[in-house]
């Protein structure tokens, strides 16, 4: 093989592998969504996953939101001071949290927590033949494992992000009032005045999409985990990296759809 051909082959291989990966993931996602709408549904498994993905992620998402709101308020105040525009702090904190930082940072935190756990759990189930066991018990593993997790991700993420939005704005309020000298009433009035339903709704739609991305990535990498502890570890890493990258990419697309001119 000539050096040029070898170079082109070296370029082509990862591109082809990427295309194949995207294709496999798309088929996997299609299969998972299809099973959301066609019975039988494993409701008990759904509730267990809703608790695990949604409820137990509350502390980490809340913590992230409060400090993000607080830091955002400080930054906007200092940036605004250059143009004598310190009074924009409440409204910019609100828009920033509701539209972008609440959903995106919340989703990234959940991705780290949930995608890795799902990939490791399902990967370990695969290694220990539990997925084969499901098939021999006349149970479709996609229906039993993926569909409830996907449904739980889509339905609980908006609720989580609603909490994150509130706590993020509250973090900004605390810094604004305690540290930056805003009057509590004035800060709240400015926040209410800047409020638009579209900001909340767009954030919640993003959250639902991110919920799907997080759970699908976790399940996909779990089902495709390699053998042994190393395979499971790699699946968990790939799930987090894949979910985080896809969250950021879909966030841009959704922002463009909602707010692009």
Residues that bind another protein (CB under 8 A): 40, 42, 48, 124-125, 128-130, 132-133, 135-140, 144
Q: Which is nearer to another protein, 153 or 168 (CB)?
A: 153
Closest CA to 220 of 57, 33, 3, 13: 33
Q: Using an 8 Å Cβ cutoff, are 83 and 182 in contact?
A: no
Closest approach, Cβ 235 to another protein, in A, equals 17
Closest approach, Cβ 48 to another protein, in A, equals 8
Q: Which is nearer to another protein, 2 or 138 (CB)?
A: 138
Closest approach, Cβ 134 to another protein, in A, equals 8
Residues 6+ apart with CB under 8 A from 80: 86, 87, 88, 89, 92
Report the 3 state secondary structure along 202-219: HHHHHHHHHHHHHHHHHH
Q: Which is nearer to another protein, 129 or 256 (CB)?
A: 129
Q: Write out the two tokens for 31.
A: 């299969």
Q: Write out the two tokens for 152.
A: 């739980």
Query: 3-class DSSP state for residue 182?
Result: coil
Q: Which is nearer to another protein, 43 or 248 (CB)?
A: 43
Q: Using an 8 Å Cβ cutoff, are 142 and 32 in contact?
A: yes
Q: Write out the two tokens for 207.
A: 């959250």
Closest approach, Cβ 185 to another protein, in A, equals 50
Q: Which is nearer to another protein, 42 or 221 (CB)?
A: 42
Closest approach, Cβ 243 to another protein, in A, equals 22
Q: Using an 8 Å Cβ cutoff, are 91 and 182 in contact?
A: no
Q: Using an 8 Å Cβ cutoff, are 255 and 100 in contact?
A: yes
Closest approach, Cβ 236 to another protein, in A, equals 16
Q: Which is nearer to another protein, 84 or 136 (CB)?
A: 136
Q: Using an 8 Å Cβ cutoff, are 106 and 164 in contact?
A: yes
């Amino acid at each position: 093989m000539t050096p040029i051909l070898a170079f082109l082959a070296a370029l082509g291989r990862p591109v082809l592998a990427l295309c194949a990966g995207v294709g496999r993931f798309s088929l996997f996602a299609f299969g998972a969504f299809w099973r959301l709408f066609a019975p039988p549904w494993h409701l008990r498994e759904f509730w267990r996953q809703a608790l695990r993905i949604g409820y137990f992620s509350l502390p980490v998402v809340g913590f992230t939101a409060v400090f993000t709101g607080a830091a955002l308020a400080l930054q906007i105040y200092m940036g605004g001071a250059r143009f004598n525009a310190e009074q924009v702090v409440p409204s910019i904190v609100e828009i920033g949290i509701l539209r972008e930082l609440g959903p995106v940072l919340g989703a990234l935190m959940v991705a780290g927590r949930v995608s890795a756990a799902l990939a490791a759990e399902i990967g370990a189930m695969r290694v220990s033949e539990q997925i084969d066991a499901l098939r021999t018990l006349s149970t479709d593993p996609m229906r039993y494992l993926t569909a409830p997790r996907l449904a739980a991700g889509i339905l609980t993420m908006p609720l989580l992000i609603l909490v994150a939005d509130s706590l993020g704005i509250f973090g900004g309020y605390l810094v604004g009032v305690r540290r930056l000298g805003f009057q509590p009433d004035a800060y709240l009035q400015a926040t209410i005045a800047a409020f638009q339903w579209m900001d909340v709704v767009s954030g919640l739609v993003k959250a639902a999409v991110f919920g799907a991305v997080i759970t699908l990535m976790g399940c996909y990498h779990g089902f495709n985990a390699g053998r042994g502890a190393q395979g499971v570890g790699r699946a968990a890493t790939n799930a987090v990296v894949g979910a985080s990258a896809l969250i950021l990419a879909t966030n841009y697309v959704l922002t463009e759809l909602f707010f692009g001119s």
